[in-house]
Structure 1
Amino acid sequence: NWGRILLLLPILLLAACSTPQPKNIGDVCEIFDEYYDWYNASKAVDEKYGIPISVSMAFIHQESKFIDDNRPPREWFLWIIPGPRPSSAYGYAQALDATWAEYQKSSGNWGADRDDFEDAVDFIGWYNTRTIKRTGIQPHDAYRLYLAYHDGAGGYLRGTYKKKPWLINVAKKVDRRAKQYQRQLVQCQEDLERGWFWRTLFGEETKVLTVPLG
């Protein structure tokens, strides 16, 4: 009946606006081929903040697996009663409410959304740049940047991560992912750059046609 339809309408509209997770999150070339605007957004972060594309994408892979509305799982009481979530982390970058508000104020982008890829990847660039200025970590050092991303620059400088073997293991995984993404980018970035002109003229789905010689 119409009452049920009206109740479901906001949910349906929200689902329609959601961006599906990329089909192969292990291959950055396939991710960018599927969502070419993500390449442009990640490249813009590299140019603006100096954070390599591979590092930003490795962070998002770890934080949300490229799921736009990702949240930490709820705690459950007696396995049946839903409890609170462990934090306010949300979106591609799993940014906390307070940290996101600080980013909005600092960047002047008051309309930024955590479930918008362009905003989330810019947040990662902004956050890592602040970390670099305070700690001296190199922009390509995904391992140390991730330790500071999780524990904050102050926590990193105090060495809080040293008592968290699980965090060290996760940071190593992020570093391996960043290096893997970088190797993949070497193979496809020229095509991505070449494809910009054609995609701009003819749309996202246009592929660059190559004619085999001989």
Structure 2
Amino acid sequence: MFTGIVEELGEIVAIEPAGDSAAITIHGPLVTEDAVHGASIAVNGVCLTVVEVKDGAFTADAIKETLDKSSLAALRPGSKVNLERPVRLHDRLGGHLVQGHVDGVGEILSREPGERWEVVTISLPGDLSRYLVDKGSITVDGISLTVVEAGADRFSVALIPTTLALTTLGHKKPGDPVNLEVDVVAKYVERMLGDRT
């Protein structure tokens, strides 16, 4: 479980294809401080399992399902990525409950700069729109954000200076893909109510 509070902006070192999967090596000295084989680290909101740690970098395997259903397949050496270690039970929950399980891929549609902040509009796969509400939570590339406006096929978020400076959303342009994870509580509520009808 994660919180959507990015700890570090990492960088892709290498991607080694292996048939229908890939081994991805990511430089992230902060998140590798206590990482061991089998640990989880969220990479742009995708929970990956560490298979090796060396010199401030870690390697994780991404299987076909992960590559097909997230934006990780679009990464290249040099790409910046948001990194977060899992929350510990005694930590503060600064964002919201994030599983690291991508529900869909959106696309940056527009950026509207303010004096010190920006409103970013992102496309939304239609089957996910029922889980978004104005002022609700969404995870974009592993970043816990508040929805400004929820539409049928898009939503907007406002990015504060810290988010712009310390995450990939400060650099992404219209047309760039982003991983989306909707609030898991909304999915559970839907399932429970659906079972009652």
Decide: shared fold, TM above 0.5: no
Q: TM-score, normalised by structure 1?
A: 0.29
Larger radius of gyration: 1
Pick the structure with more helix per residue. 1
Pick the structure with more strand per residue. 2
Higher normalized contact order (CA 8 Å, seq sep 6+, divided by chain length): 2
Q: TM-score, normalised by structure 2?
A: 0.30
